Each structure stands twice: as C-alpha cells, then as structure tokens.
C-alpha cells in the first residue's frame, strides 16, 4: 500500500518525515500515524488506562523516569482520536542506536483501544492493520528489543513488518485467586518455609525502608558474583516517581531487633501488580523472610482486585522459586528486529550471552 502524508487532525503542526518528532503517515480513511508531542502525553496516558494491553510501564511518567530518551508512535482514527500506540525508548551506545527496554521495565509493546470494535474480526483487523503501521513507522535504529507482557495484543502486524516474535513465560496469579487456592497450589517446601517465616517473629514494614531494599538487593547480586545493573540513585528516582503516583509498594521484613532480612518492591497499574526489585540477607538464610514479604504483597494485591505478576525469569534457580508458588505460566513475547549489520551482530551477542546464562 502506498502511503501519503496528511494531517492527523485539525492542527497547525507542520508535517515532516516520520524520523522527526511530529511526523505523520496515513493508512486509509483518515487513519494516521504520528510521533506524539509532549503535550499529547496526557491523552496517551488515557489510552493506557483504556486499553486492555496497557501496563504501568507504558505510562509517559514511567518512560520519563526510566528511559534515556523515548518517542511514542501513535495511530489516530479519522476523527482524530488516539486508538493505538507504541512507545520506543532509545539510547546511543558507541556506534549503536538501541531501542531496548529501559532498566526495570520488563514489558512494553503496542497498545490498542478495542472499545469501538464490535466483533473478533474487527478487533483483529484493527490490531493487525494498525500494528503493521506502527511497526513500519519505527526507523533509524540498529537493534530493537523488548518484551510484550501477558496482556499483549495480537502481533501479526509486526510479523508482517519483518519483526521477530519469540515466546517466553512469566508466572501470574489472577485477581480472582483466593489465599486458600494459592496455598493449595504451592509446593510443600514453600508452604513449610512460609509457615516458618510466620513463626519467626518477623514484622513487615510497608512503604518505608528504601535504603534497606537497596542494601539487600546489592547483597543478593554480590552472592551471585555480580553488581546490580542500576544505581541506588536510579532506584530512589523510580520509587519516588511511582510512589508519588500511588503506583508502588515497598515491603521490608525485619527481625524482632529491627534487622532487615528481606525486601520487595512492587509496582502496579489498575489491573496488575508486578514485583520488580527484591533482596535478602543470605547470612540470615535460616530466616525465610523473602517468603513473608512476597506473601504480604500477594495479600495486598488480591485485596485490591489485581493480578500478581512475578515478572518471570528463564534462569533455572529463579524460575523454580517462582514456579513453586503455584502461579499460572503465562506467555509473554520478545519482539526484536535488527536495523543494520551492526545491530545483527549485537543481537547475536545478546542471544549468545542469554543462552550461556541458562546453562
């Protein structure tokens, strides 16, 4: 299909190529694709609230907090309403232009407003046609790579546009789960450790103790012979942004003497809570505080009527810990594409590294 340029809506904005900020392409019957300006971000956030595919990680404030830079590619219908979009974070690393997920942003991907589509056929047509338009609008990169989560839309349009989509998994408890159902599905070892934690005279502080989380998270990485990929300043910035939006909770388990033994940071949108940072003191491994902070977070999440997403890992040790909680394995999708030979080499290096970490 030949694409022509025209205004997305009544506006005095000059139409420029799609590689620039306020550019627009037309698809059909007045449907247009553009890169949003900052003043359009409140409208974007309304789309995230409305779309079944939106997550906390799609909100403009989250992207402004975590990404070095980003653009939001958006589709408007013939009436000028925002009906689809795709956030693209980007950064430059030496000679490479990378469109990869920011730190502590497990899920991104396209979102669609399906409220005006009456039938399954109409919904699929909207996601596939608008998705293909969004995919073709992303240009001038070496490597693109991010995950679309368990609530991801149909991605056929991205396949048509030459993107690669690969299967992975997370673990989720649906919002309809009861605590009795969860304990019935847990492994016997997990139940025993949770009961031990409950008998250990631990207390759990909510929404305070960020420095304890940072310290315990560092200890967890050091136990693995690694360093966190994010700085303490980044964690503080993210916590302050999410907590000010009333979208985050922090849990710290302490002994009767006040010593922190485990901590967990969750963030949430209207539908789902996600655990994104955790840590424990491995010198106190006989006190299973990690089970108690997660159990507390689960209780809060279900009371709020939200799903709980473990933000699953393919690492064998981490995967088995999450799996033994008895949550459902849910598919998530890695979306990737190389835009140059340099990007192809870079992605091969990432895939080799990831494969080595699974052994």
For 112-123, the pLDDT digits (tens) are 999 999 999 999
pLDDT for the residue 327: 93
Same domain, 165 and 38: yes
The pLDDT score that the predictor gives to residue 357 is: 63
The answer to whether residue 222 scores a pLDDT higher than 50 is yes
Asked if residue 254 and residue 230 are part of one domain, the reply reads yes
Q: Are residues 218 and 277 both part of a single domain?
A: yes
Whether 5 has a pLDDT exceeding 80, the answer reads no
Residue 333 has pLDDT above 90, yes or no: yes
| Residue 276 shares a structural domain with residue 148 | no
Q: Residues 230-236: what's their mean pLDDT?
A: 97
Q: Return phi, psi of residue 238, to 5°.
A: -65, -45
Q: 218 with 94, same domain?
A: no
- The pLDDT assigned to 320 comes to 86
Lowest-confidence range among 132-136, 220-224, 251-255? 220-224
The per-residue pLDDT for 359 is 61
Beta bridge partners of 96: 93
Counting residues of the chain whose pLDDT is more than 70, the rounded percentage is 89
* Bridge pairing between strands 143-148 and 203-206: unpaired
Structurally, how many domains does the chain consist of? 2
Question: In whole angstroms, what is the distance from residue 175 CA to residue 120 CA?
Answer: 25
Query: Taking residues 139-153, what's their average pLDDT?
Result: 95
Domain of 339, in residue numbers: 24-170+333-357
Altogether, the residues listed in the chain come to a count of: 359
The predicted structure's pLDDT at residue 282: 87
User: Given a cut of 90, is residue 351 above it in pLDDT?
Assistant: no
- Report the candidate in 170, 274, 133, 278 with the shortest Cα–Cα distance to residue 217: 278
Which CATH number belongs to the domain containing residue 277 in this structure?
3.40.630.30
Q: What pTM was estimated for this model as a whole?
A: 0.89
Residue with tokens 């849990």: 251
Does residue 141 sit in the same domain as residue 276? no
| Nearest alpha-carbon partner for 298 in 213, 189, 171 | 171
Q: Hey, is 357 helix, strand or coil?
A: helix
Least confident of 108-117, 222-231, 270-279: 222-231
Residue 10 has pLDDT above 50, yes or no: no
- State the pLDDT confidence band at 62, using cuts at 50, 70 and 90: very high
Q: Which of 305, 321, 344 is the last residue of a domain?
A: 305
pLDDT beyond 80 at 80:
yes
41/100 same-domain check: yes
In a domain, 310, yes or no: no
Residue 7: other Cβ atoms inside 10 A = 17
Q: Same domain, yes or no, for 32 and 164? A: yes
SS3 83: strand
The whole-chain average pLDDT of the chain stands at 89
- Answer yes or no: is 259 within a domain: yes
For residue 89, the cross-strand partners are: 70
Bridge-based pairing of strands 24-26 and 203-206 is unpaired
Domain assignment present for residue 10? The answer is: no
> Quick one: pLDDT at residue 29?
72
19: in domain: no
For residue 27, pLDDT over 70 is answered with no
* Residue 161: closest CA among 141, 143, 134: 134
Encode pLDDT of 164-195 as tens digits: 999 999 999 999 999 999 999 999 999 999 99
Residue 2 falls inside a structural domain: no
- 343 domain-assigned: yes
Tell whether 166 and 181 lie within a shared domain: no
Instruction: Examine the pLDDT at 21 and tell me if it is beyond 70.
Output: no
Same domain, 197 and 251: yes
Q: Tell me how far CA of residue 32 lies from CA of 8, 54, 132, 138, in angstroms.
A: 5, 21, 12, 14
Q: What is the dihedral sign for C-alpha 289, 292, 298, 304?
A: negative
Tell me, what's the pLDDT at 33? 94
Query: What residues have CB less than 8 Å from 36, skipping those under 6 apart?
Result: 43, 44, 71, 72, 73, 74, 85
Residue 346: inside a domain, yes or no?
A: yes
Same domain, yes or no, for 278 and 241?
A: yes
The answer to the question of residue 257 being in a domain is yes
Q: List residues bridging with 205 in a β-sheet.
A: 252
Instruction: Evaluate if residue 15 carries a pLDDT over 90.
Output: no
Residues 165, 62 share a domain: yes
């Amino acid at each position: 299909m030949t694409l022509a340029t025209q205004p997305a809506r009544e506006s005095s904005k000059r139409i420029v190529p799609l590689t620039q900020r306020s550019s627009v392409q037309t698809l059909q019957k007045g449907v247009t694709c553009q890169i949003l300006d900052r003043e359009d971000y409140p409208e974007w956030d309304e789309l995230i609230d409305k779309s079944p595919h939106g997550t906390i990680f799609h909100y403009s404030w989250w992207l402004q907090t975590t990404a070095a830079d980003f653009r939001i590619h958006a589709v408007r219908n013939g009436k000028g309403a925002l009906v689809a979009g795709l956030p693209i974070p980007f950064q430059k690393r030496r000679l490479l232009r990378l469109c990869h997920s920011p730190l502590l942003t497990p899920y991104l991907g396209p979102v669609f407003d399906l409220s005006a589509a009456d039938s399954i056929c109409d919904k699929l047509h909207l996601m596939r046609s608008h998705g293909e338009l969004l995919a073709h609008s992303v240009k001038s990169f070496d490597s693109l790579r991010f995950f679309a989560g368990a609530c991801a839309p149909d991605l056929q349009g991205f396949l048509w546009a030459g993107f690669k989509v690969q299967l992975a998994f997370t673990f989720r408890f649906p919002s309809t789960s009861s605590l009795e159902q969860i304990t019935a599905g847990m492994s016997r070892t997990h139940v025993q450790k949770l009961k031990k934690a409950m008998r250990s005279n631990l207390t759990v502080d909510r929404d305070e103790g960020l420095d304890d989380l940072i310290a315990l998270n560092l200890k967890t990485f050091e136990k693995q012979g690694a360093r966190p990929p994010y700085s303490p300043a980044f964690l503080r910035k993210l916590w302050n942004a999410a907590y000010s939006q009333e979208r985050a909770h922090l849990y710290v388990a302490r002994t009767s003497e006040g010593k922190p033994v485990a901590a967990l940071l969750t963030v949430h949108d209207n539908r789902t809570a996600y655990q994104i940072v955790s840590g424990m003191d491995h010198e106190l491994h006989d006190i299973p505080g990690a089970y108690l902070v997660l159990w507390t977070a689960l209780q809060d999440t279900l009371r709020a009527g939200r799903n709980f997403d473990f933000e699953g890992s393919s690492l064998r040790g981490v995967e088995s810990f999450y799996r033994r909680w008895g949550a459902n394995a849910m598919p998530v999708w890695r979306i990737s594409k190389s835009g140059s030979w340099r990007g192809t080499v870079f992605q091969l290096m990432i895939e080799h590294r990831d494969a080595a970490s699974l052994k």
